[in-house]
Amino acid sequence: MTGSQPVRDKATHGGRSKSGTTPPAPGRAEIPAPVGDLLATLQRGGQAAYVVGGCLRDALLGREPADWDLTTDAPPERIQALFPRSIYENRFGTVVVRHAGAQYEITTFRRDVSYSDHRHPDAVQFGTSIREDLARRDFTVNAIAWGGRPAEEPAFIDPHSGRHDLARRLLRAVGDPDLRFGEDALRMIRAVRLAATLDFQIDPATAEAIGRNAGLAAGLSGERVFAELLKLLAAPAPSVGLRLMEQTGLLGVVAPDLARQHGIEQNKADGEDLWDHTLRTVDAAPNRSLIRLASLLHDLGKSDTLADGHFHGHETVGAAMARDYLAGLHAPRALQERVAHLVAHHMFSYEPKWTDAAIRRFIGKIGPGSVDDLLALRAADNEGSGLPADAGHLAELASRIQAELAAHVVLGRDRLAVDGDDLMAELDLPQGRLLGRLLDDLTERVIAEPALNDRAILIEMARQSISDGRLLDNRTS
């Protein structure tokens, strides 16, 4: 097969989205040439082969698929024989094939057998038909295949009317939604996530089943929930999915502290509560997982600190809660720390009268690698409060920070013109608390006055401090 191959289907017609724009007609998809090659190789080898799942859904919607997945009646050993350089990921029954500079997953037809714990099939069996494979998939729009048996004209296999639902922009469970969510509770979170990323509605019967089964999500592993949460937060407007989570009761199960924000009044935008503010903030945040997560969690401490109409110290309480929440989802440790750090510092209040030294102290406290993130969070928080993004002179603060960073000023001990070894040698000092205190003192003074960052000057200043005894404070030493 050469060149990308348009696949066309005469049975469905393009739908019109609610916003009035005409989406690319579902029923047509461009299959990239390398994917066509893989299908052809399998079929020449006597195997049935299909493009299937999310990639076909995205292609039919005119969206760029993240990756192309294939399914076949060939067992893994046979797939490997047809693709000598492939790797068998035996845990998932999936063979990974490298072709034309990209990776593709080829999975043998599957059938799932009985789920007793609401998240793992007790056994995965290889199936024998594409229809069986499609029947175990979650939503009709994810249960479409395109391809065929050897020598067959390629065609859509769409037993659950997925293309019809694509045209209506509707997520509908394959089969009985209560049964399907009982098998794997993650499908409920996938439904709200896909509704947000694709801008689809959830079919009423499917949505009602989520409401009935939301409690089952309590048994899901943190990792699986976190992966879906990140995808949800990468949607153009995450609030669409987050509101659905709240309305269906899923939020109360997977993020109870967020669910409690609903109904907490605060005097920001008229008629909006704390939950509305959180949602607006997340939507306003730039589409990076760190900032979207920090926006989602930035006011987590408010529900617990509300007293007399104020939220005293909510950022400190909230930082600890955000860290615990992300730890529970097994988020990477560094991400937990970065989110908690941003939450802890999001209440800063800049004023134009700050001196340049104050700007340098601020950068030093937040960390040069985090100031941009903190300003991005605050801009989103402003918008979430119905204010202009740069309220509180944020643009001015940003440019003053840039100017300091560009000047390579001292922000901490690491850029000081002397280090501990210098002071020990020059002043005949032992290692210990006095040395540490001297270095901190010199750092503070250089942050205030960058011109002092000179080896001879600093050693002289240190000598003076020792003879004044000004660092022999009453802390235990």
Contact positions vs ligand ATP (CB under 6 A) = 53-54, 66, 137-138, 142-143, 184, 186-187, 231
- Give residue number: closest CB to ligand ATP: 54
| Contacts (CB under 5 A) with Mg ion, residues 193-232 | none
Q: Which of 32, 54, 148, 364 binds Mg ion (CB under 5 A)?
A: 54
Place of tokens 């009317």: 161
Report the C-alpha gap between 162 and 26 in whole angstroms.
Answer: 10
Strands 102-108 and 69-72: parallel
Of 65 and 318, CB closest to Mg ion:
65
- Kindly tell me which of 143 and 170 has the beta carbon lying closer to ligand ATP: 143
Residue 187, binding choice from ligand ATP, Mg ion, none, Cβ under 5 to 8 Å by partner class: ligand ATP
Closest to ligand ATP by CB, 53 vs 241, is: 53
Q: Which does 142 bind (CB under 5 to 8 A by kind): Mg ion, ligand ATP, none?
A: ligand ATP
- Stretch near Mg ion under the rule CB under 5 A, chosen from 37-45, 51-59, 121-129, 457-465: 51-59
Q: Is 50 or 350 the residue whose CB approaches ligand ATP more closely?
A: 50
CB 43 within 8 A of CB 13: no
Whole-angstrom Cα distance, residue 444 to residue 361?
Answer: 8
How open is the CA angle 204-271-197, to the nearest 5 degrees?
40
Sequence-separated (6 or more) residues with CB below 8 Å from residue 274:
261, 262, 264, 265, 266, 299, 302, 303
With CB under 5 to 8 Å by kind, the binding choice for 231 among Mg ion, ligand ATP, none is: ligand ATP
Instruction: Pick the stretch among 41-49, 54-62, 322-330, 392-400 that binds Mg ion (CB under 5 A).
Output: 54-62
Q: What character string, x for contact with Mg ion (CB under 5 A) and - otherwise, covers 98-137?
A: ----------------------------------------
Q: How far is the CB of 441 from ligand ATP (least distance, A)?
A: 53
In the complex, the smallest distance separating the C-beta of residue 138 from ligand ATP, rounded to whole angstroms, is: 4
Compute the least distance from the CB of residue 152 to ligand ATP, in Å.
22
The minimum distance between CB 180 and ligand ATP, in angstroms, equals: 8
User: Cα–Cα distance between 53 and 162 in angstroms, integer?
Assistant: 10
Of 211, 255, 212, nearest to 232 (Cα)? 255
Under the rule (CB under 5 A), what is the footprint of Mg ion?
Answer: 54
